[in-house]
Structures are given as structure tokens and as C-alpha cells.
């Protein structure tokens, strides 16, 4: 546009860099406003039992509805919010909203699920490294559990390997405190960072999420298959639950189910849903559980 061209000219000899800085500055400012107004949206992607298709949990995924940019995806603002520290209040909002919505869905579905021998629905929330390192994080989690009324074991916190890599005393004690609180900790995107299976015995990890990049190659390469199968088996031996990310086709689903990977998420089952759509799915899944139970 003419305006963009003008800006580029005005910026002189480092147009790209300058435009980037202006853009970042603008984004940071509107992020501030969005945080102050809680102007974000949470979407929910189902996590299902790969054998039965039963709904087991939702992963909460944040979006930023922006008047000019449309629905902004996390990859465009999470790293910015991490650098500026804005991820701390943003992350607290996500946690609170996800826990509150999940508690309502639990109330809606609890009886039918229980009668069918199924566990309460869980909710999984992404936590960035910066957010985890913030001194107030554990307290925020504790308060969220109290105010939302969620059973702590229904709340999963997804951390990436970059958090565990630091292995300092704070990480250790915070993980312990969270474990004592009863919330579950997942390693997200397992296999993409400095993966180490020793994390599984060093920290109170309950869930391991195998990154989509491994799932993509499942049917294509023997090695990929063997790797995923090996990780699944080791995790299982250690009592850690495995969730496969990014399942897009039935072949992947069947290969995973056959190797003993119990849970997964991906476009094959559902894209991230709005809260209303997620609520409808909870209802529908609980009714199905009720019907199956009646037939037994
Ligand atoms: P993630 O935690 O690994 O989340 C999975 C991402 O993969 C999501 O992207 C999801 O929409 C996408 N996905 C799920 N199934 C499929 C599939 O079958 N195919 C493909 N191609 N993609 C699939 P999304 O929502 O754009 O989120 C991207 C990343 O942003 C997340 O990766 C997570 O690291 C981060 N993120 C999202 N929400 C939050 C949040 O509330 N807080 C923090 N700190 N990070 C968040
Ligand atoms: Mg995640
Ligand atoms: Mg992930
Ligand atoms: Mg990721």
C-alpha cells in the first residue's frame, strides 16, 4: 500500500528492520490493551481415546481476535508476549478461563461419564518457559484451582523441554509443589527440543505429548515408527501417559493404536473448537457414553 511504501521510504537504509520494529511496537501496545480487556479467545481441541474415539480431554489454545488482522494465531504473538513478559498475565487468563470452562463441562457430563466408567474430562493448558519461571506461577495455579473449583488431577500443564533443561533448584521445587497440588504435568512437543527420557524420572511428569513431526512420518518410515513405538513403550513402563499430536489420517490413528499409544489429537478428529462447539461435543459424547452404558 501507499502508506506502507511511505513508511519504508521514511525508514531509510534499514527498511525491513525498521518496519519490523514499528510493527512489533504496535503489536505490543495492542497486546497490552487486549490483556487489560481480556480480549482473547480460547479454542479447545479434543484429545480422544484412539481405540474408541471417546472424548478424554481438551487442549486449550489461545487466539487473538484482532479488528484489523482477523483471528491472530499464537505463533504470531506468544513469542512477543514472552519477550515482553506479557505472557504472565495472558497465561494467567488462559489458565483461569480454561479451568472455569472445563469445570462447567465436567458438571454437565460427570454423571453420564461416571456411570459409563469414564474419568472426568480433563483440560490441558500450555505454559511457556517465561511464564513458568515467573515467581508467582505456582501461586497462580493454586488460586486457579481454588477459584474454578476444578479437581487438580483434571488440570494438565503443558511444559516444553526448554523448561526442564535448566534443571535448577527453582524448577525442581516448583515441579514438586505442583505435583503435590495434584495437577498433572505434561511435556509438550516431545522430541523437538533437547529430549531426554531422564526428565521422566527426574520430574513428576504424568503425560508425554509426542510432537506432530514424528506422527507425520509414521507410515512413511520404519525408523519413525520404531522411534514412536519405543517412546510409547518406555513411557508406559514408567507410568507416563502418551498423547500423539497432529493426527491427520486414519493410517496414523491405526498405527498408533496398534503400537499401544492410547490417546491422540489432530485434525482427523477435530480442529480447535470454540467453547460453544466444545460444550456441544461434551454433551454429545456424554450422551453416547450413556447410551453405550444402557446397552451393556
Ligand atoms: P502446541 O501446544 O503443540 O499445540 C498444537 C498446535 O497444533 C495447535 O496450533 C493446533 O491447532 C495444531 N494442530 C492440532 N492438530 C493438528 C493437525 O492435525 N495438523 C496440524 N497441521 N496442526 C494441528 P495453534 O493453536 O496454532 O498453537 C500453536 C502453538 O502455540 C501451540 O503448540 C503452543 O505451543 C502455543 N500456544 C497455544 N496456546 C497457548 C497458550 O495459551 N499459552 C502458551 N504459552 N502457548 C500457547
Ligand atoms: Mg500444547
Ligand atoms: Mg504440542
Ligand atoms: Mg507446539
pLDDT at 295: 66
- Average pLDDT for residues 97-115, to the nearest whole number? 97
**CA–centroid distance for 159 within its chain:** 9
Q: At what angle do helices 15-36 and 2-10 cross, to 10 degrees?
A: 120
Band of the pLDDT at 16, cuts 50, 70, 90?
Answer: low
Take atom 4 of ligand 1 and give the residue whose Cα is closest. Answer: 61
- Distance from the CA of 172 to the center of ligand 3, in angstroms? 22
Q: What single-letter DSSP state applies at residue 171?
A: H
SS3 157: strand
> How confident is the model over 181-196, as pLDDT tens digits?
999 999 999 988 777 8
Nearest Cα residue to 188 out of 60, 83, 101: 60
Q: Please, which residues bridge with residue 66 across strands? A: 70
Q: Which residues line ligand 1 (CB under 6 A)?
A: 45, 61-62, 73-75, 78, 91, 94, 126-128, 158, 188-189, 245-248, 265-267, 272
Give CA–CA dist 35/169, Å, rounded. Answer: 31
Best mutation site among 126, 128, 162, 187 for ligand 1 pocket (most ligand atoms within 8 Å of CB) = 126
Instruction: From the CA of 74, give the closest atom in ligand 1.
Output: 30
Best mutation site among 78, 93, 128, 268 for ligand 1 pocket (most ligand atoms within 8 Å of CB) = 78
Instruction: From the CA of 247, give the closest atom in ligand 1.
Output: 18
Neighbours of 174 (CB within 10 A): 18
- Distance from the CA of 209 to the center of ligand 3, in angstroms? 7
Give CA–CA dist 266/45, Å, rounded. Answer: 8
Take atom 7 of ligand 1 and give the residue whose Cα is closest. Answer: 246
Query: Does the structure's ipTM exceed the value 0.85?
Result: yes
Dump the DSSP string for 237-292.
HTT-EEEE----SHHHHHHHHHTT--EE-STTT---B-HHHHHHHHHHHHHHHHHH
Give CA–CA dist 197/279, Å, rounded. Answer: 36
* Angle (nearest 5°) at CA 90 between 87 and 94: 125
Take atom 10 of ligand 1 and give the residue whose Cα is closest. Answer: 272
SS3 203: coil
Nearest Cα residue to 92 out of 45, 40, 164, 43: 40
pLDDT at 8 exceeding the cut of 60: no
- Average pLDDT for residues 199-225, to the nearest whole number? 92
> How confident is the model over 141-173, as pLDDT tens digits?
999 999 999 999 999 999 998 888 877 889 999
- Distance from the CA of 114 to the center of ligand 2, in angstroms? 27
Neighbours of 118 (CB within 10 A): 21
pLDDT at 25 exceeding the cut of 70: yes
Which residues place a Cβ less than 5 A from the ion ligand 3? 188-189, 245
Identify which ligand lies nearest to the alpha carbon of 157: 2
The three cell numbers locating residue 96: 483461569
Amino acid at each position: 500500500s501507499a502508506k506502507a511504501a511511505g513508511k519504508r521510504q521514511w525508514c531509510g537504509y534499514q527498511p525491513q528492520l525498521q518496519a519490523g520494529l514499528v510493527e512489533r511496537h504496535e503489536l505490543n501496545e495492542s497486546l497490552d490493551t487486549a490483556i487489560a480487556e481480556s480480549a482473547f479467545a480460547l479454542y479447545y481441541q479434543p484429545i480422544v481415546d484412539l481405540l474408541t474415539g471417546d472424548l478424554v480431554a481438551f487442549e486449550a489454545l489461545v487466539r487473538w481476535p484482532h479488528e484489523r488482522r482477523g483471528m491472530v494465531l499464537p505463533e504470531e504473538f506468544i513469542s512477543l508476549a514472552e519477550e515482553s513478559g506479557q505472557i504472565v498475565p495472558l497465561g494467567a487468563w488462559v489458565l483461569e478461563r480454561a479451568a472455569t470452562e472445563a469445570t462447567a463441562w465436567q458438571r454437565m457430563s460427570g454423571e453420564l461419564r461416571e456411570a459409563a466408567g469414564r474419568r472426568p474430562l480433563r483440560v490441558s493448558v500450555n505454559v511457556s518457559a517465561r511464564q513458568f519461571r515467573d515467581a508467582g506461577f505456582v501461586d497462580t495455579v493454586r488460586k486457579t484451582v481454588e477459584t474454578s473449583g476444578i479437581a487438580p488431577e483434571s488440570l494438565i500443564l503443558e511444559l516444553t523441554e526448554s523448561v526442564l533443561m535448566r534443571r535448577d533448584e527453582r524448577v525442581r521445587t516448583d515441579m514438586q509443589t505442583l505435583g503435590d497440588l495434584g495437577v498433572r504435568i505434561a511435556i509438550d512437543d516431545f522430541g523437538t527440543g533437547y529430549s531426554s527420557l531422564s526428565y521422566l524420572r527426574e520430574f513428576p511428569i504424568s503425560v508425554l505429548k509426542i510432537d506432530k513431526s514424528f506422527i507425520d512420518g509414521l507410515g512413511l518410515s520404519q525408523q519413525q515408527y520404531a522411534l514412536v513405538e519405543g517412546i510409547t513403550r518406555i513411557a508406559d513402563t514408567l507410568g507416563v501417559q502418551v498423547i500423539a499430536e497432529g493426527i491427520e489420517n486414519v493410517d496414523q490413528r491405526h498405527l498408533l493404536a496398534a503400537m499401544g499409544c492410547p490417546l491422540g489429537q489432530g485434525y482427523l478428529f477435530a480442529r480447535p473448537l470454540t467453547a460453544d462447539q466444545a460444550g456441544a461435543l461434551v454433551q454429545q459424547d456424554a450422551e453416547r457414553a450413556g447410551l453405550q452404558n444402557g446397552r451393556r
